[in-house]
């Protein structure tokens, strides 16, 4: 079982590395109303849900964090429906990017 958790942890760190590298560029694109890579948003949302599950399996996760992620993803869905690219960028920057940095720090300890 420990081997499987180690694999999940390694996969999560790799995903977070990529996410943290791409998010700032993607956020800037959205703020400039450049939506050519908007399809990337669905992958980000799925990835964040997977990360939540992975962290729960690896080390447990607080109810506050689950609620924070759920609220961010719900707000993101509403912003997508309204085509509110500024709100999408804000959620990515102030919620998802911050969570990714926190999770990355926790996983590489």
Query: What is the per-residue pLDDT for 40?
Result: 92
Please state, in angstroms and rounded to a whole number, the distance separating the CA atoms of residues 41 and 45. 6
Q: How many structural domains compose the chain?
A: 1
Q: Are 51 and 103 in contact (CB under 8 A)?
A: yes
User: What pLDDT digit, counting tens, does each position of 87-102 carry?
Assistant: 999 999 999 999 999 9
User: What pLDDT digit, counting tens, does each position of 18-34 carry?
Assistant: 999 999 999 999 999 99
* Residue 1 pLDDT exceeds 70: no
Please state, in angstroms and rounded to a whole number, the distance separating the CA atoms of residues 104 and 13. 6
How crowded is residue 5: how many other Cβ atoms within 10 Å of its Cβ?
A: 13
Which residue range is the domain that position 97 belongs to?
Answer: 2-107
């Amino acid at each position: 079982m420990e081997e499987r958790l180690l694999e999940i942890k390694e996969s999560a760190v790799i995903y977070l590395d990529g996410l943290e590298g791409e998010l700032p560029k993607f956020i800037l694109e959205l703020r400039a109303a450049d939506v050519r890579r908007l399809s990337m948003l669905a992958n980000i949302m799925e990835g964040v849900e997977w990360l939540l599950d992975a962290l729960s399996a690896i080390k447990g996760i607080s109810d506050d964090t689950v609620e924070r992620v759920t609220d961010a993803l719900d707000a993101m869905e509403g912003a997508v429906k309204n085509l509110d690219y500024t709100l999408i960028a804000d959620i990515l920057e102030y919620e998802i990017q911050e969570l990714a940095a926190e999770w990355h720090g926790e996983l590489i300890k």
